[in-house]
Amino acid sequence: MKRGLALLLVGLHGLLLGGCMQATLAPSSNASLTARDRQLLAHARYAQATIPETYRRHIVDYTRKEQPGTILVDTNSKYLYYVLPGGKAIRYGVTVGEEALAWSGIATVGKTAEWPDWIPTAEIQARLGPYPKRVAGGPDNPLGARALYLYEGNKDTLYRIHGTNQPEYIGQAISSGCIRMTNEDVIDLVNRVKPGAIVVVLPPGRSA
C-alpha cells in the first residue's frame, strides 16, 4: 500500500513537473527601461494597477503560421502576440477598441516614437472632447511611453499600438480603436520590433 502510494506520488510529481515545463515564463518586466522611463514612470499620477496574471507578459506556444517578428492582435481575447522563432511568441495583455470602433486588418509598423505627443483626431474631439490640440508626451499622456504607428502602404491609418495612462483597463474593450499596452510592455515590444514589421489585427469574433 505504501509502495503504491509512493509510486502515485512520484507519478503526480512527474505530471506537475511536466506542467511546469509547459508553463508560461514571464520575461523581466523592467530590463529595457531607460533612465528617463524610470523617472517618468515613477512619478505617474495614475494608480499602479494590478494586472491579472493572464494579461501579464508571458512566453507561450504559438501554432499559427505568421513569421517571426510579426505582431498579431487577438481582439477577442485581448492579447497581442510578438512572434518568436521556434513556435513561440511573447503574449501581452492589451486594451482593444469598443466593438463599433475596433480596427482590424493588416498593416505595417511605419514608425515608432518614444513618449510621443498626442494629437486628438477630429472624431475624438467631437465624441469625447474638448481636448487641447496637442498633449505633450509624459506619464499623463494617453499614448504612454511608446507608440507604434500603423500604416497601410504609405498611408497612416491613424491607429496605434501604444502605452497608456489607464493600465487598469488592460483586458477590456474600451478604447477608440487603438491597441493599448502597459507602458512597461510597450517599451519591451518597441525594443523588439523592426521597422516595417507586419501587424495583423483580427476582427472581433475571430480568435487566434
**How many Å apart are CA 160 and CA 152, to the nearest integer?**
12
Clarify whether 162 is annotated catalytic.
Answer: yes
Residue 42 is inside which H or E element, if any? helix 35-42
Clarify whether 20 is annotated catalytic.
Answer: no
Q: DSSP label at 118?
A: B
How far from chain centre, in Å, is Cα 172? 12
Residue listed under C-alpha cell 487566434:
208
Please name which of 199, 28, 189 lies closest in space to residue 114, comparing C-alpha atoms: 189
Catalytic residue among 13, 20, 43, 178: 178
**Interacting residues of 61 by C-beta distance below 8 A, sequence separation 6+:** 22, 87, 88, 89
For residue 198, the tally of other CB atoms under 10 A from its CB is 15
- Tell me which residues are annotated as active site: 162, 178
